[in-house]
Amino acid sequence: MTSIDSRPAGRGRRRAWGALLLLAWAAGAAAQPAGPAEPTGATPQARGVWRFLDDGVAFDNRQEGARAGGVRRAGEGRYGVAVTPETQPINPSPWYGFRVGAQRPRTVEIALDYGAFRHRYRPWLRREGEPGWRAAGEDEFAIGDDGVARLALALDGRDVEVFAQPPIGIGEVERWAAALAARVGAQVETIGRSVQGRPLPALAFGEPTAPDLVLVLGRQHPPEITGMRALLAFVEALAGDDARARDFRARHRVLVLPLLNPDGVAEGHWRGNARGVDLNRDWGPFREPETRAAAAAIARHLDGGGRRLAFAIDFHSTWYDILYTVTEDPSRAPGGLLRGWMDDLRARFPDRIQERPGPAAGSAVFKNWAFRAYGAPVVTYEVGDATGEAETAALAGFAAERLMARLAAPGAAP
């Protein structure tokens, strides 16, 4: 027998958890992909608990950042979880997150059903009472000959969280910003509110009267965790206590917009904000409050033209490491700031990072808008999905160090 409970989950070891809430799934129906989305609307995911009473197994999707479209019993010890987007059409970034537990020790097999989409993120696991996340092992996760992604979990009475990537939540970003502000005297402000009313944070540090601004932004797309980790490492290097970082901050102002899509993060969206809009296709149209607030904050910190945008970087994630640049950007030419910076990265990490230039008149992404609006060297830094945390920190930290060195060089200019 199956029971669905959409009330707040109770506390205790045997409470039901886990993901996914499509009511049709509770009876074992097939996953139903979301229908075409209106430009101003995404389908909110239902949150609740799936209890399989005869099995003593339960799933829920109550956590921040969790996402699951339904769960069904496929047989003894076997379950299917629907991985569904907030809207369609959509970029295929099939994020999922849920919790599962059992009343007695047992092994369960969980099939991730992506519908028309394909698998992208290897599961990460965190068991109740254990300190951190770990990637599912080879003996736990595999994609079968039938193309289905399956996870085998040994449950021992403690609940297990299963996420597409180790999540970085809103609270974690807030704590990081507060700690950095205390360390380097950064100003933390709210530049606006999201569709659902969440604050859009910004940090500014360095010399308040400096003529040049370095802009760092990220988390336009919620699942892009490796890009977020790179942003944190990049900014930490700029805020470092070494002589180069202190000299850099004495000569430059830094503006960081670390969390442009808090609604998408909270709701476990694959791509969009609360209305299902891809924010990185809204730089220019500015239909969404998040991009409008960000553009206004950038203009304000540039003092209405009194300060130069010296460099801008937008952090994302994709299958592998890519630097998206603007074809017309003169700083890509030999001797230019961006060219020298990319050459530094290639020399330190050979054959690791590709450059992909594109025209400024292309899509309404941040880098194209920033170049058209300010003529600044600008890059979208895409970090590979599978790039490890230590490697990401090394890459991003080195990128920040070389940027500081390049900007400090005599006569440095875009």
Domains and CATH numbers, the chain: 2-163 (2.60.40.3120), 170-408 (3.40.630.10)
pLDDT grade for 28, boundaries at 50, 70 and 90? very low
Q: What is the pTM of this model?
A: 0.90
Structure confidence by residue, pLDDT tens digits, 255-271: 999 999 999 999 999 99
pLDDT grade for 410, boundaries at 50, 70 and 90? low
What's the rounded Cα separation, in Å, for the pair 17 and 141? 21
Question: What is the arithmetic mean of pLDDT over 47-70?
Answer: 97
What's the rounded Cα separation, in Å, for the pair 53 and 75? 14
DSSP percent split of the chain into helix, strand, coil, nearest 5 = 25, 30, 45
CA of 122: how far to CAs of 79, 289, 387, in Å?
A: 18, 33, 12
> According to the model, what pLDDT value does residue 1 have?
61
How many CA atoms are closer than 13 Å to the CA of 325, on its beta-carbon side? Answer: 21
What's the rounded Cα separation, in Å, for the pair 377 and 193? 28
- List the one residue out of 351, 357, 346 whose CA is nearest residue 379: 357
* Mean pLDDT, rounded, of the chain: 90
Angle at 413 between CA 410 and CA 414, to 5 degrees: 155
Structure confidence by residue, pLDDT tens digits, 83-131: 999 999 999 999 999 999 999 999 999 999 999 999 999 999 999 999 8
Return the bridge partners of 100, or none. 59, 160
10, exposed or middle or buried, with CB in 10 Å at 0-12, 13-18, 19+? exposed
262, exposed or middle or buried, with CB in 10 Å at 0-12, 13-18, 19+? buried
Could you tell me if 310 and 376 are in contact, meaning their C-beta atoms sit under 8 angstroms apart? yes
Question: What is the arithmetic mean of pLDDT over 158-176?
Answer: 97
